[in-house]
Amino acid sequence: MNFAVPTELETEIDELITHYPQKRSASLMALHALQGHFGWISREAIEWIAQKLELLPINIYELVTFYPMFRTNPVGKYQIKVCRTLSCALGGSYKLHEYLCQKLGLDSNAQSLQTTKDGKFSVEFVECLASCGTAPVMMCNDDFYEGVTAPKADEILTKCK
Amino acid sequence: MPQEHRLILKYADQPGYTPDIDCYLRHGGYEMLKKALALQSKDLPGGKKMSAQEQVRDEVMKSGLRGRGGAGFSCGLKWSFVDRKSGKPVYLICNADESEPGTFKDRQIIQKDPHQLIEGMILSCWANDVKLAYIYIRGEFAQGAKILNRALGEAREKNFLGKNILGTGYDLDLWVHRGAGAYICGEETGLIESLEGKRAYPRIKPPYFPAVLGLYLCPTIVNNVETLCAVKHIVAMGGAEYARLGTPNNTGTRIVSVSGHVKKPGYYEVEVGKVTLGELINDPAFGGGLRDGRTLKAVIPGGSSAKVFKAGEKFKLKRKGADGQMTAVEVDLLDLPYDFDSLAQAGSMSGSGAIIVMDDSTDIIEALSNIAEFYAHESCGQCTPCREGSLWMAKALHRLTHGHGRKQDADYLLNIAQNIQGRTICAFGEACAWPVLSFVKKFKDEFENRGATDEAKRTAKGTGPMQEMRPIARSAALR
Amino acid sequence: MSAAAATTETKPSPPPVEKIRIKVDGREIEVPKLMPDWQGKLQPTTMLQACALAGVEVPHYCYHPKLPVAGNCRMCLVEFGLPLIGPDRKPVLNEDGTTKIAKQVLPYEPTTVRGAIACATPISTGMEIYPGSPATRQMRESVLEFLLINHPLDCPICDQAGECKLQEYSVDYGQSASRFVEAKVHKPKAVDLGPRIVLDDERCILCSRCVRFTKDIVGDDALGFVNRGSYSTLTHFPGKPFDNNYTLNTVDICPVGALTSKDFRFQMRVWFLKQTKSICTSCGTGCNIVIGSREEKIYRYEPRQNDAVNSCWMCDAGRLNYKWVGREDRLVKCGVRNPERGMKDASWVAALNEIADRLKKAPAGSVAIVASARQTNEELWLLSKLKAKLSATSDSVPRIGEGDKLLVNVDKNPNSYGARLTGVAADPMGSSLPKIADGIRGGGIKTLIVFGEDVTKHGIGAELLGKLETLIVSDILPSQTTELAHYLLPGCAHAEKRGTFTNIKGRVQKLMKAVEPRGDGRPEWEFLHDLVYNVTGQNGFVSIEGLFNQMVKEVPAFNGLTWAGLGDLGVAVRI
Amino acid sequence: MIVKREKLSLWERLYLPAIIGGFKVTLRHFFRKKVTMQYPEEKWVVPQGYRGAPYLVRDQEGNTKCVSCQLCEFVCPPKAIKIIPPGPAGEIADRPNAEKMPKEFEINMLRCIFCGYCEEVCPEEAIFLMEDYSLTGTSREEMIYNKEKLLALGGVHNDRIRKWKRKLEEAKEQAAFPVAKP
């Protein structure tokens, strides 16, 4: 597979590295940058970052699998994260998750990330998103939605189209 | 009437208040930085001198500010532990990895008033001779990170940051570092490891106390967002004046997040100890009471890792009488002053200031199962009791919520939790054990009844001994 | 002074260290305040070290004396107490005047003991440690239970069974039945980590010893953990095999059967193995090893701790360099070449007598000896006696290869110093080999004695060997030289005899016999002794001990050593 | 001491009654069921729990249960058992997931003392002392039973636990095991 990092992205990552006294520290930020561009962290991306930060691939592989925000497989264009932790659960996040899954034709009992067949949406239950006062909450890519009711969920989904 | 006392969030929710620097400057922003940088060293009796930085540190110590992150440790004391003689650089990290379920206060500050945090940080950095500082923000706060980055850019432009700040010769670099969805990064040594680009495995203490061997094995200060913001107000008001807010040993204001089954969930900044738990839940100025027709069942007073309170509980609190004698006073749950010490005496903690209210519609076993699943998911997996115990408890509770309970499961869970608490590298052990210990102890009859019912059902069906539960699937009954 | 050459310790004696008094299970002991950590640097003494000094074992998994402390297994949790400090910052005293001890409890639950991990907690004056208390026992039991709930409990098929810490501590702290009724976490099994290592992730207890070893000792970050919580899994980066020269050490330090050696996998249960302390002979470092053998078959080498040589480690190359001992084509018969009928089997007595006769008749200077720096000190010394008697030219073959920073030495001969100190090797080693070749070519040298080397590969070709009147060869495996020999004396591998080697740092270390020699093979020192006696008439050494003690009197560098005094770890001599 | 001999009575001196009594016993036994067993054509049925010759068994799916743990070899008092483990390249178990089975398994029946330790120690319930009590052969070599012979003699034994199979099934069932493979 061809793996090429665009120059702007590489410059961005080079700039990020200068923020830290040790190159290794930049790994999380570099992973964010790469994931922002590619959507997920491929094996080649891991190797690329490791080389960039003068590390071994295992050092990056360890991180990618530790931090749940990093994806090791391609995901949908829109990643929907529904909070499942207590306050949101009390506020109806299970219903929201079920509703979204139903709407997108996914299995609402599944634990892990699922992607629609057209590769447009990925839905996932995640742990606390820290907006417990406005439960239930969800994220669609970087955007945050609070107090999501069924109509609001519809609205968000339509916006993604 | 209890009232909010807005100090940190004074402007945040005012109409027209924007997170940009011009708005902040219009509201008196960065004045405290200028004030502090202009401080002169002071002569002490005995011919010693107290530098300007020492004066600020002294004010923070006097203010009695306690960390707003969870442990409630004195901020001034934390700063005083920093090893300044090692010759190594001192780092400061703002812990903005707000992940404790129920907490959503730091998000408000970061998104609505980022410059306040930055000013507080610059002040704290300056007071501690820090040349390089980071804001460790949780990965999910993508918006917050963008806002902070923009604010940092603005501050740099105005020379509040960078080289030779305001011509005083003081240099400070401040960067945003994004986490990526790991609760354990809120633990300070885990956060440091994560910032070093490693898995967020908390370090063993001893020997790795951050004040001595922190980031890159240099002395490091890790403070919560709210704590660092408070530093600005301490500089503004003076430590003694700040200490007059709140109650003795529980000084200042703090932002309390109220969530769950209340009419008005949200964040409320109050003087510590001046408001009771009941007021925060029921007062129209705060939580606004439970949903109609519902009664209170349980309250988690300080984020999901705090021990739960059962409605109607009574506590014996030690109070200092007018004659200076300590006397025990019986206090109802709802009359508990919301401060660090009272909640600790009541057997729980105020933690990160997050109140989760559960009404009588809540299935307490489901709720605990939800929390246990959270901790099983977030355990870093470094040390044995937490790694194995957190998932074990989650699996046992999953069993209990799916009709595979046993009578002895209540004691089974208590025993597992007991074997975790106090035996782990970091406080996560307590965090995952306490909910289980408190829920099961306080609602033991519910747990035992559920187990007994399940057993009876199995006997009636003739399915005999309990089937082993297959791998954990998402809890369903909270829908 | 004869003992001057032999110094028992090469390290300078450590400076006197302050001692502090603590109590272990009620017994008062004095321990040094500082003790060496994994790198040998002095650090505050830990509870675990203090307990060891008190003779109390604290069970542990992740702690290893030669690795950085991780503190993650929590098995070494112990109950402890500290002197109670009053408000006046002075210790509170009991009524009888002793210091009052505050047993450490959880701050939020004063009825529950707070344990500390013995591996990382430094001791302080007056501290009391209770490794034998019921609370400590309960903590160990609970940690062990946690470790076992997701363990596959497959001891019958696990190579580690018999030397598994999980098994050992289960006997001490385990329960007979599990109360875990939920489903276990399943992880990858039989993972091919690299050319020499197989990993069973279900058995792994995530102690991180292997990760720390390969990162901090070898400097090759090949291993790491992926995933989180109970699903954490040890692995390598896919496509990047765990392949450095020290991988097999991770098998030794793995406290459970997660990492297993492909070489030893499913070969033999460890409880059958006879353990023989010996020395690795693959290079000049002379790593201390334990040979595991059963019924005259060697199954494995394992490193043996010797801080002056190899710490707890050895290289993979050395470890796997034992298979030739059991090779089918070993030389097993004593042979004498008959001009008409070629090589014929002969008895040792006949062969040695014949050789002695020939050597006695040989004119002075017509004999050359090519010894091997793979021979023991004793054998080389016996050869030096022959050399003196016959005024022979002698040398041994240098063997220079690649070394590394950790253990592997560039000198691939295990006993170069022995060859030098006994005067058998020329200086520099190998410089006389051309002279010997020239001597044969010119006809001055008519008899050549070769030990353990294929001289055809070292400048003395087959055509030269053909010119010799007498070619006496002793070796273990067949070579071109052994094929041309007039007298062929089958020797012994290192695991089949006793003797001493002098390593590259001048440490004299003992080889011990693990298995019987093959066929008629005899230890070289034994038949060399017979030969030397036949030729020179000297006697006085009938055992290896006697021989060694005789040698140390005559070789100046070895003066003052005794066989018994070498002990298991050897003694350094001045070189 | 002098023992006085009793004088026999007339009835006793007649002898005949005693002879008749004897014949009566004989006659009674003559019509009873025969107790002699025609060994070796007929074989004695051993009681349950009898410790006969140790044989290896297969499970109900015909798989070898022995995993070559060599505990029987270790525990065997007369050292009658010899197991050659499979080695790294050897045949893996025919049971799924068990990883290992012996390359060779020999019991020297001339040495075996039928103590039953091997059965007791076996963690896999793979070796049982069966009813065979008469083992014969014409040479010493013939009395060393190898793996094939032991397995053939042992036959099938119901495996109630089916440990390895269950483990494998449980592992397969583990939904969404979070292994990320780049």
pLDDT in tens, C552-566: 999 999 999 999 999
Residue A1 lies in a domain: no
Q: Are C553 and C538 in contact (CB under 8 A)?
A: no
* Average pLDDT for chain A: 91
Helix (H) or strand (E) holding C500: strand C499-502
Cβ–Cβ gap C221/A55 under 8 Å:
yes
Q: Which range marks the domain in which residue A117 is found?
A: 78-160
Q: What residues of B are in contact with residue C117 (Cβ under 8 Å)? A: 204
- CATH number for the domain running over C19-146: 3.10.20.740
Judgement on whether residues B238 and B327 belong to the same structural domain of the protein:
no
A35 backbone dihedrals φ, ψ, rounded to 5°: -65, -35
Judgement on whether residues A41 and A114 belong to the same structural domain of the protein:
no
Cβ–Cβ gap C142/B385 under 8 Å:
yes
Cβ–Cβ gap B423/C139 under 8 Å:
yes
Judgement on whether residues B132 and B262 belong to the same structural domain of the protein:
no
Residue type, C282: S
Residue A71 lies in a domain: no
Those residues whose C-beta lies under 8 Å from the C-beta of residue C512, and which sit 6 or more positions away, are C276, C277, C278, C291, C498
Q: Which among B287, B305, B311 has a CA at the least distance from the CA of B359?
A: B311
Judgement on whether residues A142 and A102 belong to the same structural domain of the protein:
yes
Q: Which tokens belong to B99?
A: 């992940």
Number of domains in chain A: 2
Judgement on whether residues B426 and B399 belong to the same structural domain of the protein:
yes
Judgement on whether residues A94 and A59 belong to the same structural domain of the protein:
no
| Rg of chain C taking only CA atoms, in angstroms | 29
**Apex B241 CA angle, B238 and B245, nearest 5:** 130
Q: Are D112 and D80 in contact (CB under 8 A)?
A: yes
Residue type, B47: G
C469 backbone dihedrals φ, ψ, rounded to 5°: -75, -40
ipTM, 2 dp: 0.92
Judgement on whether residues A82 and A62 belong to the same structural domain of the protein:
no
User: Chain D residues with CB-CB distance to C under 8 A?
Assistant: 67-71, 73-74, 85-88, 90, 97-100, 123-124, 167, 170-171, 173-174, 177-182
Peptide bond just before D40 cis, omega within 30 deg = yes
**Apex D96 CA angle, D93 and D102, nearest 5:** 15
Taking the C-alpha atoms of residue C491 and residue C325, their distance in angstroms, rounded to an integer, is 11
Judgement on whether residues A60 and A83 belong to the same structural domain of the protein:
no
Distances, alpha carbon B423 to alpha carbons B440, C122, C138, C420, in Å: 20, 17, 12, 58
Q: Are C206 and D149 in contact (CB under 8 A)?
A: no
Q: What is the pLDDT of residue C13?
A: 62
Taking the C-alpha atoms of residue C468 and residue C446, their distance in angstroms, rounded to an integer, is 5
Q: What residues of B are in contact with residue C69 (Cβ under 8 Å)? A: 204
What CATH number is given to the structural domain containing A129?
3.40.30.10
Q: Which range marks the domain in which residue B279 is found?
A: 247-359
Q: What is the pLDDT of residue B321?
A: 76
pLDDT in tens, C477-505: 999 999 999 999 999 999 999 999 999 99
Taking the C-alpha atoms of residue C81 and residue C76, their distance in angstroms, rounded to an integer, is 16
Q: What is the pLDDT of residue A113?
A: 83
Cβ–Cβ gap B384/C112 under 8 Å:
no
Q: What is the pLDDT of residue D13?
A: 86
Assess A24–C contact: CB distance below 8 Å, yes or no.
Answer: no
Q: Considering CB atoms only, which of D69, D70, D179 is closest to C233?
A: D179
Cβ–Cβ gap A132/B265 under 8 Å:
yes
Q: Which tokens belong to C27?
A: 């017994």
**Apex C456 CA angle, C453 and C460, nearest 5:** 105
The position carrying tokens 């600790």 is: B344
Taking the C-alpha atoms of residue C111 and residue C150, their distance in angstroms, rounded to an integer, is 30
pLDDT in tens, C235-290: 999 999 999 999 999 999 999 999 999 999 999 999 999 999 999 999 999 999 99
Among the candidates B359, B374, B403, a domain finishes at B359
Judgement on whether residues A55 and A85 belong to the same structural domain of the protein:
no
Q: Which tokens belong to C141?
A: 């039991």
Q: What is the pLDDT of residue B214?
A: 95
Q: Are D99 and C190 in contact (CB under 8 A)?
A: yes
Q: Are A123 and B404 in contact (CB under 8 A)?
A: no
Q: What residues of D are in contact with residue A41 (Cβ under 8 Å)? A: 182
Judgement on whether residues A103 and A125 belong to the same structural domain of the protein:
yes
Chains with ≥3 CB–CB distances under 8 Å to C? A, B, D
User: What residue ranges of chain D have pLDDT lower than 70?
Assistant: 175-182
Q: Which among B348, B477, B179, B253 has a CA at the least distance from the CA of A129?
A: B179
Taking the C-alpha atoms of residue C64 and residue C47, their distance in angstroms, rounded to an integer, is 14
Chain A, residues 15-74, CB within 8 A of chain B, namely 19-22, 24-29, 31-32, 53, 55, 59, 62-63, 66-70
Chains with ≥3 CB–CB distances under 8 Å to D? A, B, C
Q: What is the pLDDT of residue D44?
A: 84
Q: What is the pLDDT of residue C141?
A: 96
Stretch B69-91: mean pLDDT:
93
Judgement on whether residues A108 and A146 belong to the same structural domain of the protein:
yes
Q: Are B181 and A69 in contact (CB under 8 A)?
A: yes
Cβ–Cβ gap A42/D175 under 8 Å:
no
| Strand B253-260 with B354-359, pairing | parallel
Judgement on whether residues B429 and B308 belong to the same structural domain of the protein:
no
Q: Any idea how long chain C is?
A: 575
Those residues whose C-beta lies under 8 Å from the C-beta of residue B183, and which sit 6 or more positions away, are A127, A128, B97, B99, B100, B374, B378
Taking the C-alpha atoms of residue B233 and residue B117, their distance in angstroms, rounded to an integer, is 11
Give percent of chain B above pLDDT 90. Answer: 85
Q: Which tokens belong to B320?
A: 């200092």
Judgement on whether residues B175 and B54 belong to the same structural domain of the protein:
yes
Taking the C-alpha atoms of residue B229 and residue B234, their distance in angstroms, rounded to an integer, is 9
Distances, alpha carbon B52 to alpha carbons B164, B223, B235, in Å: 17, 21, 12
User: What residue ranges of chain C have pLDDT lower than 50?
Assistant: 1-10
Taking the C-alpha atoms of residue C194 and residue A14, their distance in angstroms, rounded to an integer, is 34
Judgement on whether residues B128 and B220 belong to the same structural domain of the protein:
yes
Q: What is the pLDDT of residue C377?
A: 95
Chains with ≥3 CB–CB distances under 8 Å to B? A, C, D
What CATH number is given to the structural domain containing B131?
3.40.50.11540
Stretch B112-135: mean pLDDT:
96
Judgement on whether residues B314 and B387 belong to the same structural domain of the protein:
no
Those residues whose C-beta lies under 8 Å from the C-beta of residue C458, and which sit 6 or more positions away, are C370, C397, C430, C433
pLDDT in tens, B290-312: 999 999 999 999 999 999 999 99
Q: What is the pLDDT of residue C14?
A: 59
Those residues whose C-beta lies under 8 Å from the C-beta of residue B283, and which sit 6 or more positions away, are B1, B2
Cβ–Cβ gap C156/D124 under 8 Å:
yes
B227 backbone dihedrals φ, ψ, rounded to 5°: -60, -45
For C335-573, the fitting CATH number among 3.40.50.10310, 3.20.20.70, 3.40.50.720, 3.40.50.740 is 3.40.50.740
Cβ–Cβ gap A87/B100 under 8 Å:
no
Task: Return the axis-axis angle of helices C134-149 and B409-420, rounded to nearest 10°.
Answer: 110
Kindly report the number of other CB atoms within 10 A of residue C30's CB atom.
10
Peptide bond just before B207 cis, omega within 30 deg = yes
Q: Which pLDDT band holds residue B44 (cuts at 50, 70, 90)?
A: confident
Cβ–Cβ gap B473/D175 under 8 Å:
yes
B195 min Cα distance to partner chain A (Å): 6
Q: What is the pLDDT of residue B473?
A: 46
C35 backbone dihedrals φ, ψ, rounded to 5°: -140, 155
- CATH number for the domain running over C152-326: 3.30.70.20
Residue A2 lies in a domain: no
Taking the C-alpha atoms of residue C5 and residue C573, their distance in angstroms, rounded to an integer, is 6
Taking the C-alpha atoms of residue D128 and residue A96, their distance in angstroms, rounded to an integer, is 59
Q: What is the pLDDT of residue B325?
A: 84
The DSSP call for residue C62 is S
For chain D, list the domains and their CATH numbers: 54-159 (3.30.70.3270)
Q: Considering CB atoms only, which of A43, A61, A68 is closest to C224?
A: A61
Count chain A–chain D contacts defined by CB atoms under 8 A. 18
**What is the separation of C-alpha D174 from the centre of its chain, rounded to a whole number of angstroms?**
40
Q: Which tokens belong to B439?
A: 């829920």
Taking the C-alpha atoms of residue C461 and residue C481, their distance in angstroms, rounded to an integer, is 9
Residue B470 lies in a domain: no
Best residue in D66, D99, D127 for a mutation probing chain C (most C CBs within 10 Å): D99
Judgement on whether residues A62 and A85 belong to the same structural domain of the protein:
no
Q: What is the pLDDT of residue C314?
A: 96
| Rg of chain A taking only CA atoms, in angstroms | 17
* Average pLDDT for chain B: 92
Taking the C-alpha atoms of residue A65 and residue A71, their distance in angstroms, rounded to an integer, is 8
Q: Which tokens belong to C31?
A: 């321990």
Judgement on whether residues B34 and B140 belong to the same structural domain of the protein:
yes
Distance separating the N- and C-terminal Cα atoms of chain D: 106
Kindly tell me if the per-residue pLDDT of B116 is higher than 50: yes
Q: Are B440 and B414 in contact (CB under 8 A)?
A: yes
Kindly report the number of other CB atoms within 10 A of residue C239's CB atom.
9
Q: What is the pLDDT of residue C34?
A: 94
Stretch B100-114: mean pLDDT:
94
Q: Which tokens belong to C524?
A: 């070289």
Q: Which tokens belong to C79?
A: 């109950």
Q: Which pLDDT band holds residue B185 (cuts at 50, 70, 90)?
A: very high
Q: What is the pLDDT of residue C11?
A: 53
Taken in order C192, C194, C195, C198, is the CA torsion positive or negative? Answer: negative
3-state secondary structure chain B: CCCCCCCCCCCCCCCCCCCCHHHHHHCCCCHHHHHHHCCCCEECCCCCEECHHHHHHHHHHHHCCECCCCCCCEHHHHHHCCCCCCCCCEEEEEEECCCCCCCCCHHHHHHHCHHHHHHHHHHHHHHCCEEEEEEEECCCCHHHHHHHHHHHHHHHHCCCCECCHHHCCCCEEEEEEECCCCHHHHCHHHHHHHHCCCCCCCCCCCCCCCCCCCHHHCCEEEEEHHHHHHHHHHHHHCHHHHHHCEECCEECEEEEEEEECECCCEEEEEECCCCEHHHHHHCCCCCCCECCCCCEEEEECCCCCCCCEECCCEEEEEEECCCCCEEEEEEEHHHCECCHHHHHHCCCCCCCCEEEEEECCCCHHHHHHHHHHHHHHHCCCCCHHHHHHHHHHHHHHHHHHCCCCCCCHHHHHHHHHHHHCCCCCCCHHHHHHHHHHHHHHHCHHHHHHHHHHHHHHHHHHCCCCCCCCCCCCCCCCCC
Distance separating the N- and C-terminal Cα atoms of chain A: 30
Q: In chain C, what are the domain boundaries?
A: 19-146, 152-326, 335-573
Cβ–Cβ gap A61/C225 under 8 Å:
no
Judgement on whether residues A91 and A58 belong to the same structural domain of the protein:
no
Those residues whose C-beta lies under 8 Å from the C-beta of residue B51, and which sit 6 or more positions away, are B41
B446 backbone dihedrals φ, ψ, rounded to 5°: -65, -45
Taking the C-alpha atoms of residue B451 and residue B401, their distance in angstroms, rounded to an integer, is 10
Q: What is the pLDDT of residue B464?
A: 64
Number of domains in chain B: 3
Judgement on whether residues B198 and B303 belong to the same structural domain of the protein:
no
